[in-house]
């Protein structure tokens, strides 16, 4: 008998397959943390609330408007992107030049206020979103199950990531965005509107967070746990990959989701969340810049 089986109920490959939906969610949420941190230097602790808000919004749209779910999703993303840009321009931008803790605390305040407002509006009930596409299960080999919905979100998250990377690398918007991040003063002197460019970065980040929330909500449910276990926990893949690296997040998402899936299997489902946080602390201890992050992190 082989010590470690590849397939079958206790094999490695099914375990890796189990991690795919989680990795998808983390990729999207992680991108959101990374792009907002990288462009504006804000550690936005309200990302989880953004994700949950998008899910509630979609639920409300889907149950009140009787149009195709795709239109609802597009509407949600448009609203969320405007919301994200407005939050940056209306709140965070006003703290420019203050110590960085001010922005962290502001995001905590925003997260708290949003938690309360969403609690008032939607309560603590769990809602189900309508089915996105027909429920086909794929079973590439025994013990591994993937639904069509999972695969769709894999496509969406990888696609969105590639688009973002391409936009940042190759378009003039991306060049302006990088310039505004690198040196806001010089960029504005050369005619870049840092306000709008950084606002767009926040909008893109918010869309990523919303998609991440939806990637969780469609197969599971819409409810308050999304803020913590999906949103805030997205810090783990980001820190593993490198806080300011969009590419590193992809690797971080894969690593964290596999570690969590393995932990859930061998240590019990309650260990799933703390294991990811513990992994984050280990990285903080030994490799704070993450696997791909820039080494510019200042030690005191």
Binding site for another protein (CB under 8 A): 43, 45, 91, 94-95, 98-102, 104-106, 108-117, 119-120, 228, 232, 235-236, 239, 270-271, 273-274, 277-278, 280-281, 284-285, 288, 297-300
DSSP for 40-90, written as a single string: H----TTHHHHHHHHHHHHHHHHHHS-S-HHHHHHHHHHHHHHHHHHHHHH
Residue number with CB closer to another protein (129 or 240): 240
Residue number with CB closer to another protein (97 or 191): 97
CA–CA separation, 61 and 53 (whole Å): 12
Minimum CB distance to another protein, residue 284 (Å)? 5
Residue length, the chain? Answer: 300
What residue has token string 């309650």?
270
Minimum CB distance to another protein, residue 231 (Å)? 11
Residue number with CB closer to another protein (188 or 229): 229
- DSSP SS3 for 105: helix
Minimum CB distance to another protein, residue 209 (Å)? 17
Residue number with CB closer to another protein (71 or 282): 282
Minimum CB distance to another protein, residue 154 (Å)? 27
- Which among 179, 191, 196, 216 is positioned nearest to 82, based on CA atoms? 196
Minimum CB distance to another protein, residue 275 (Å)? 9
Q: Which two tokens stand for residue 77?
A: 């993303």
């Amino acid at each position: 008998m082989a010590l470690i089986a590849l397939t079958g109920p206790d094999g490695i490959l099914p375990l890796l397959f189990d991690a795919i939906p989680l990795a998808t969610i983390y990729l999207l949420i992680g991108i959101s943390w990374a792009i907002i941190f990288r462009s504006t230097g804000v550690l936005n602790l309200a990302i989880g609330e953004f994700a949950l808000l998008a899910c509630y919004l979609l639920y409300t749209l889907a149950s009140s408007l009787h149009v195709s779910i795709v239109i609802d999703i597009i509407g949600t993303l448009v609203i969320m992107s405007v919301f994200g840009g407005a939050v940056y321009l209306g709140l965070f931008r006003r703290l420019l030049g203050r110590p960085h803790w001010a922005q962290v605390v502001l995001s905590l305040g925003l997260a708290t206020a949003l938690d309360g407002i969403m609690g008032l509006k939607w309560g603590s009930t769990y809602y189900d979103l309508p089915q996105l596409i027909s429920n086909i299960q794929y079973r590439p080999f025994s013990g591994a199950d993937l639904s069509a919905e999972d695969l769709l979100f894999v496509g969406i998250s990888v696609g969105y990531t590639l688009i973002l990377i391409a936009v940042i690398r190759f378009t003039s918007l991306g060049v302006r965005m990088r310039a505004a991040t690198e040196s806001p003063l010089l960029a504005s002197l050369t005619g870049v509107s840092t306000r709008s460019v950084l606002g767009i970065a926040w909008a893109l980040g918010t869309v990523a967070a919303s998609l991440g929330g939806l990637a969780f909500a469609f197969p599971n449910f819409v409810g308050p746990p999304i803020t913590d276990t999906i949103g805030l926990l997205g810090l783990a893949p980001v820190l593993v990959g490198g806080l300011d690296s969009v590419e590193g997040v992809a690797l971080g998402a894969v690593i964290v989701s596999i570690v969590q899936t393995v932990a859930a299997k061998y240590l019990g489902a309650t260990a799933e969340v703390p294991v990811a946080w513990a992994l984050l602390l280990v990285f903080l201890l030994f490799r704070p810049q993450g696997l791909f992050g820039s080494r510019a992190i200042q030690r005191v």
